[in-house]
Amino acid sequence: MTAITKTEGANQGATKIKDSAIIIMVLGALIALSPFSIDMYLPAFPAIAKSLNTSIAKVGYSLTSYYFGLCVGQLIYGVLIDRFGRK
């Protein structure tokens, strides 16, 4: 058996902090991706409406359905997480 020295313990702590920082950066990038994709999608509404031969208001329903699905998904996911816990 070997004992953990202070430097090994410090290195493990530094690794955990580094891993946490990477996870936070990735999650932050994923959160920023949704508004970015919507900002690219909104200016395309007239072109989408023209190519589908419909009105811009009807194309807007696709954005509404996206947000509705996002909200319902979060509600379901939140209940499941509360019920079964994160693993």
User: What is the domain partition of the chain in residue ranges?
Assistant: 6-84
**Mean predicted lDDT score pLDDT of the chain:** 83
Structure confidence at residue 87 (pLDDT): 63
Side-chain half-sphere exposure of 54, counting CA atoms within 13 A: 11
Position with higher pLDDT, 11 vs 81: 81
In this prediction, residues 2-10 reach a mean pLDDT of 56
Q: What are phi and psi of 85, to 5 degrees?
A: 80, 160
Name the pTM for this structure: 0.55
